[in-house]
Amino acid sequence: MSSSDARPSIYDDLKRQGVSRRSFISYCTYMASLLALPPSAAQAIADTLTNKSRPSVIWLSVQECTGCSESLLRSFEPTLEGLIFDQFSLDYHHVLQAAAGIAAERARDQAIERNFGKYVLIIDGGIPTGRSGVLSTTGGKSGVELIRAAARGAALIVAVGSCAAYGGIPAAAPNPTNSGGALDALRDLIDQGAVTAPIINAPGCPPVPEVMTGVIVYFLTYGKSPPLDDLSRPIPFFGRTVHDDCPRLPFFDQGLFAKTFDDEGARRGYCLKDLGCKGPTTFNACTTVKWNQKTSFPMLSGHGCLGCAQPKFWDREGGFYGKLF
Ligand code: SF4
Ligand code: SF4
């Protein structure tokens, strides 16, 4: 136990699960590089995860498909990334908690009360405000009501996935439930000063798991959010387009484009822009962090980017396979 707090630290728990100090330090070094921090930051991250007690996390889901939770927690084998997230104290999670019914609702309210001002609030799913929000309810309360109540006591708010960030698929035209993102649902409370926590959008459909863990680790280490862009996305992960780091970029620059998914150009690795790739206008970390235990990403495996981390990607003119330009 490394802190005076009753909860063990993240590292204490990792050690119990057999994670070696070497793996832990190499994870901290990796996280520092993902967050575009100097190498010395790895030590600060390691000290934080070793000495601070596990943060309380309240995860509220509204109009969602569970893909964001799956992205983080359902890897083929436990990764250090997944284990780190497991060590955050998930005091309330619609999908993962064992409790149900009144007991679950009580657990959420108690977690908010006990950790008021200190917990991380994670939101996934679009937030419907049509018909006063009753189109999505839990325990008789609307999603928007639950989120607004929980946001008041949060130290950090992370909207994971494109639905929580911008409304996503539930907000697709004609948006029958008047769904929107967390910032839309909280705007007036932010303006009134009733919600003071930094709000970070971590879009993607699903979001890259390292982004979710990375922003929380950054917050624990430095007590603030990483620098954000004009869509409230953390710049270390969303500062570049997937096109900027795509291995097909040399072919794009030469004007060499595949015309079908099985032509000679596709076999040679030509650029997929003419097959609908939205990489040039999509900011995300897929090409650098990669998916499936850092195995691959769409353009590497032969498909274009759908632009899932951008607002309104579902409604884009021309659809998934329409040419950008
Ligand atoms: S495949 Fe897409 S991301 Fe890659 S170079 Fe072509 S347009 Fe850019
Ligand atoms: S490559 Fe594009 S569509 Fe695929 S996950 Fe990354 S941002 Fe989303």
Tell me the pLDDT tens digit for each residue of 52-95.
Answer: 888 888 999 999 998 888 877 654 455 666 666 666 767 777 77
Ligand 1 center to residue 281 CA distance, Å? Answer: 10
Within the chain, where are the H helices? 10-16, 21-34, 41-51, 67-73, 80-87, 101-114, 143-151, 161-166, 182-192, 209-222, 235-238, 249-254, 264-268, 286-289, 298-301
Span 240-325: which CATH code?
Answer: 4.10.480.10
Query: CA angle, corner 220, sides to 293 and 148, nearest 5?
Result: 95
Q: Where are the domain boundaries for CATH 4.10.480.10 in the chain? A: 240-325
Q: Where are the domain boundaries for CATH 3.40.50.700 in the chain? A: 10-237
Tracing tokens 């309240």 back to the chain, one arrives at 58
With a 6 Å cutoff on the Cβ, whether 297 touches ligand 2 is: yes
State the distance between the two ends of the chain, measured CA to CA, in whole angstroms. Answer: 57
| 232: region left, alpha or beta (phi > 0 left; psi from -120 to 50 alpha) | left
Q: Output the pLDDT for position 134.
A: 94
Q: Mean pLDDT across the chain, nearest whole number?
A: 91
Ligand 2 center to residue 307 CA distance, Å? Answer: 6
Tracing tokens 């620059």 back to the chain, one arrives at 253
With a 6 Å cutoff on the Cβ, whether 285 touches ligand 2 is: no
Ligand 2, residue 282: give the atom nearest the CA: 7
CATH architecture of 10-237: 3-Layer(aba) Sandwich (3.40)
With a 6 Å cutoff on the Cβ, whether 217 touches ligand 2 is: no
Q: pTM to 2 decimals?
A: 0.93
Distance CA 110, CA 305 (A): 42
Ligand 1, residue 251: give the atom nearest the CA: 5
- Comparison of pLDDT for 109 and 89, the residue scoring more: 109
With a 6 Å cutoff on the Cβ, whether 58 touches ligand 2 is: no
Region of poorest pLDDT, from 70-79, 251-260, 301-310: 70-79
